[in-house]
Amino acid sequence: MAWEDELFAYLDDLEGQAAALYDAERAPDLLDRSRTAYQEVTLSSRLVASTDLELTLELVGVGAVTGRLTRVGDGWSLLRGPGQEWVVPHHAVAAAHGVSDRSVPEVAWPALTRLSLTAALARLADGAEPCALHLTDGRRHDGTLLRVGADFVELAAGAAARVVLVATAHLAAVQSRPGAAA
């Protein structure tokens, strides 16, 4: 073997060792960057990526709710199950099963995801659909939504249709049965 070939082989070996050392030093940095980037991923962004999937959400004060995720809004989701719909504020989600491995960054969300929880509840009030308001402490109020305030809903509850105000901060889910009689 000529001395030039030996020199080039030696230089190739050194270059390979340098690349390996660079990769070894860079790996922890890449891992740290990956962890930091993932810390920006929100529950909402994972749920947006899970639209049209069958999910189970474990809700504080309610337990497990299963249905097809049909809509995600600003801080809430809509699950449709057999004969019922669940409007779920994200603050009440303790765990989610069956979600996509992906996430969708907020800049790529459809315009409908900008709708607030109060907008979704106003739709129920406009439809005068019977519903059950499940609270994060396990209590429940059945009736018909009348109006939606800035941070509460007004419900006509029971046969006497007494008015109950419920703070949206304590809602775990609103369960409705479209087409059911009040």
Strand positions, DSSP E, 82-180:
84-89, 93-97, 130-135, 140-148, 152-157, 162-167, 171-176
Q: Across the strands, what pairs with 116?
A: 74
Q: How much is the average pLDDT of 114-139?
A: 90
pLDDT of residue 116: 86
Q: What is the CATH number of the domain that holds 139?
A: 2.30.30.600
In a domain, 16, yes or no: no
User: How many domains are contained in the chain?
Assistant: 1
pTM: 0.75
* Range from 27-31, 40-44, 89-93 that averages highest in pLDDT: 89-93
Q: How far apart are CA 26 and CA 20, in angstroms?
A: 10
| Residue-number span of the structural domain to which 148 is assigned | 43-176
The answer to whether residue 75 sits within a structural domain is yes
In a domain, 148, yes or no: yes
120 domain residue, yes or no:
yes
Range from 10-19, 25-34, 66-75, 76-85 carrying the lowest mean pLDDT: 25-34
- Give the chain's mean pLDDT: 84
Residue 1 lies in a domain: no
Cα-based distances in Å from 18 to 8, 15, 44: 15, 5, 43
In a domain, 3, yes or no: no
Whether residue 22 lies inside any domain: the answer is no
Q: Are residues 89 and 117 in contact, defined by beta-carbon separation less than 8 angstroms? A: yes
Given a cut of 90, is residue 17 above it in pLDDT? no
Banded model confidence at residue 64, pLDDT cuts 50, 70, 90: very high
**Residue with the larger pLDDT of the pair 173 and 39:** 173
76: Cα separation from own chain's centroid:
7
Residue 66 has what pLDDT? 95
Where helices occur in 51-161 by DSSP H, the ranges are 117-127
Predicted local confidence at residue 27, as pLDDT = 64
Taking only the tens place, the pLDDT of each residue in 70-113 is 999 989 999 999 889 999 999 999 999 999 999 887 777 778 78
- Within-domain flag for 150: yes
- Please report the pLDDT score of residue 173 as a whole number: 95
